[in-house]
Structure 1
Amino acid sequence: MTQETISIVLPVFNEHEILPTTIQTLENFVAAQSQNYELIFVDDGSSDYSATIIEHARQHYANIKLVQFARNFGHQIAITAGIRYASGDAIVVMDADLQDPPEVINAMIAQWHQGYQVVYGKRVQRDGETWFKKTSAHLFYRLLARLTDVAIPTDTGDFRLIDRQVAEVLKRINEDDPYVRGLISWVGFRQTAVSYERHERLAGESKYPLRKMIKLALDGITSFSEVPLKLATWFGGGLLGGGLLIGLINLLTGNLGGTGLIAFLLVSLSGLILLTIGVLGAYLGRIFTASRQRPLYIVAKTEGFRQSNSHTLTWEQRQMTN
């Protein structure tokens, strides 16, 4: 039988402090496994010398491959590119900061061998994270579950294993601002969870500040739910009904004046209008971005891929000819 190949996709953005440890840890891990492994680092336009560290590591480890973006395109797009370039029978997505323990990959592979085509890591503990981040993540996942019909698992990140068949389906999706973990849930197939404890970062700082966390949350909601659009309609109808009721009560009681009431109605109506415009703008923005039909990312260079590998180096070239 042909030996299995497992691809590990690692998006990288300014991780020079932890990369040497990450590379050594992963190489020690894969050296003890029976499968073949390729490590695909997707450098998302790092401004430090992350790409240099990866290039240097390639001189010592033949299984390391590099996809370097021309600029920063974002974490989710880096994951998307890594999946497209991966050639393994199964693909594992994990961050390069070692918060997701490589040992969990064995448990994922065991579930894959049982016939599951998606095996996602479910966090039972998150070390080294602030109360605010844990609480906001907890609330977001449950809000998203309420807003969408797609069963997106709670308390999970992008750390997961996907089968080759799932990867081929994802490669046909060219969605702008992709919410990868949501898309993986949306495509279906047999899915299961592996529980694990997420570690604290060994070095460096999180590359997901509040601004990026909010953007990721909005991408997830607007990608998989139309409820915010409906809420705008409901709020508008409710305010209109409330205004008519107040007007009717004032008419019946003969109290048609009152600058306080007028000010309240004006402020409430103005706020609702702005809120509705903002919700519509978020969805229209996605339509506008998609209408430009720009590529999701620009690759400056790749290293370690063979031209003959139809899943890797020639992916963008094949898309241009379709």
Structure 2
Amino acid sequence: MVINPELSVVVCVLNEEESIDLFLDTLTPILEQAVSSYEILFVNDGSTDKTFEILHQKAIAPDSHVRLINLSRNFGKDVALTAGLDNVKGQAVIPMDVDLQDPPELITEMVEKWRQGANSVVAVRSDRREDNFIKRKTAMAFYRLIGRISKVDIPQNAGDFRLIDQKVLEVVRKMPEKARFMKGLFAFPGFKTEYVYFHRPQRVAGETKWNYWKLWNFALDGILGFSTAPLRIWSYLGAGVAVIAFLYMAFTIFKTLVLGVEVPGYASLISLILFFSAINLIGIGILGEYIGRIFEEVKSRPLYVIEGIYDSHDQQAEASDKCA
């Protein structure tokens, strides 16, 4: 194991026993050609299958390039990725998925752009043909929305698969927020950024851990974490409703003075009450989302808990103990 390798690859895994061997068989030859030295840092995010056992054996093997961080339970992918970024040793870092939907072949091009002076090299999906209609449309709507309301330029159709150097990594490490929208955190530092484009293939093994509910919460974290626009919108909406209410009040007074008092309609009254009650509840809900995030931040609990870190030194230590 090289102490300060040229490149670190961070891979977060959750119940991926079927994908690990194929992933390493595909990735390792590419890394051997692309860089002078490397490490592959797996972060086991509370797997319940044989993922830990498989990775543990690979990590403690003599002269292994694999390191393993085993979290004490499932903390979620973005937090697991943070644990990996906090413990990498490489001069540059590439987070990627174990399912080979992030093509390892792009690493050579990413490293080349980094050597030419780029601080960050972002892999962008050139199309989303593999996604179903609903996912394509919702993803498009999300990226358009966050692109307009966020002050940070977050690339569209880009995931965590990218290369970042030590400058970017140090800034990311200084951002301790609990609700971690990693695409935004990676984009926040700025610096010189280059792009590579690819067509994302189907998963090679196992099943995705994402569903529509998780994707919704992921989008919500991104919007609320990188914009105060939802709060501002309700300020504008409140002002607009107040103007309409004032005009309606003036019209009612004028109508009463000119035409006399009419019996008010029950249906219109109930409709107005329900409408404004709904607006109030939605506004309170938006406030609650922000307040909930403030509550999580002020508790200052650790983002993650590490059960252990394993590499080839563990095997060497065990051999030394036996000799002693």
- Fold agreement, TM-score > 0.5: yes
Gaps of 5+ in 2: 257-261, 315-324
* Number of residue pairs matched by the alignment: 306
Gaps of 5+ in 1: 308-322
Q: 1:274 corresponds to which letter in structure 2?
A: L
In structure 2, how many angstroms separate the alpha carbons of the residues matched to 1:266 and 1:52? 60
Counterpart position of 1:208: 210
- Is the alpha carbon distance of 1:216 and 1:306 closer, same or farther for their aligned partners in structure 2, counting shifts above 3 Å? farther
3-state DSSP of counterpart to 1:8: strand
The more displaced of 29-38 and 77-86 is 29-38
Q: 1:282 corresponds to which letter in structure 2?
A: E
Q: 1:132 corresponds to which letter in structure 2?
A: I
The more displaced of 227-236 and 25-34 is 25-34
TM-score under structure 1 normalisation? 0.90
Q: Cα distance, 1:243 vs. partner? A: 2.6
Q: Cα distance, 1:251 vs. partner? A: 3.2
Q: 2:306 corresponds to which letter in structure 1?
A: V
Q: 1:21 corresponds to which letter in structure 2?
A: L
3-state DSSP of counterpart to 2:199: strand
Pairs within 5 Å for 1:98-247? 98-247=100-249
RMSD of Structure 2 on Structure 1 (CA): 2.0
Structure whose alpha-carbon radius of gyration is higher = 2
Q: 1:153 corresponds to which letter in structure 2?
A: P
Identity %: 35
- Is the alpha carbon distance of 1:44 and 1:4 closer, same or farther for their aligned partners in structure 2, counting shifts above 3 Å? closer
* 2:66 aligned residue (40, 64, 67): 64
Q: Cα distance, 1:13 vs. partner? A: 1.3
In structure 2, how many angstroms separate the alpha carbons of the residues matched to 1:14 and 1:275? 38
- Is the alpha carbon distance of 1:256 and 1:228 closer, same or farther for their aligned partners in structure 2, counting shifts above 3 Å? farther
Q: Residue by residue, what CA displacement relative to the aligned partner does 1:178-212 show, whole Å, maximum 9, x if unpaired?
A: 11120121111111211111111112221121111
Counterpart position of 2:41: 40
Contact 2:6 2:35 survives alignment (8 Å): no
In structure 2, how many angstroms separate the alpha carbons of the residues matched to 1:212 and 1:37? 33
- Alignment pair present for 1:28 and 2:32: no
Counterpart position of 1:282: 289
Q: Cα distance, 1:239 vs. partner? A: 2.1
- Alignment pair present for 1:291 and 2:298: yes
Q: 2:7 corresponds to which letter in structure 1?
A: I
Q: Residue by residue, what CA displacement relative to the aligned partner does 1:92-114 show, whole Å, maximum 9, x if unpaired?
A: 01111110100111111111112
Contact 1:126 1:200 survives alignment (8 Å): no
TM-score under structure 2 normalisation? 0.89
In structure 2, how many angstroms separate the alpha carbons of the residues matched to 1:100 and 1:60? 28
Moved >4 Å (runs of 4+): none
In structure 1, how many angstroms separate the alpha carbons of the residues matched to 2:313 and 2:236? 55
- Alignment pair present for 1:79 and 2:81: yes
Q: Residue by residue, what CA displacement relative to the aligned partner does 1:199-233 show, whole Å, maximum 9, x if unpaired?
A: 11112221121111111111111111011001111
The more displaced of 78-87 and 231-240 is 231-240
Q: Cα distance, 1:61 vs. partner? A: 6.4
Contact 2:17 2:50 survives alignment (8 Å): yes
Counterpart position of 1:91: 93
Counterpart position of 1:249: 251
Q: 2:114 corresponds to which letter in structure 1?
A: W
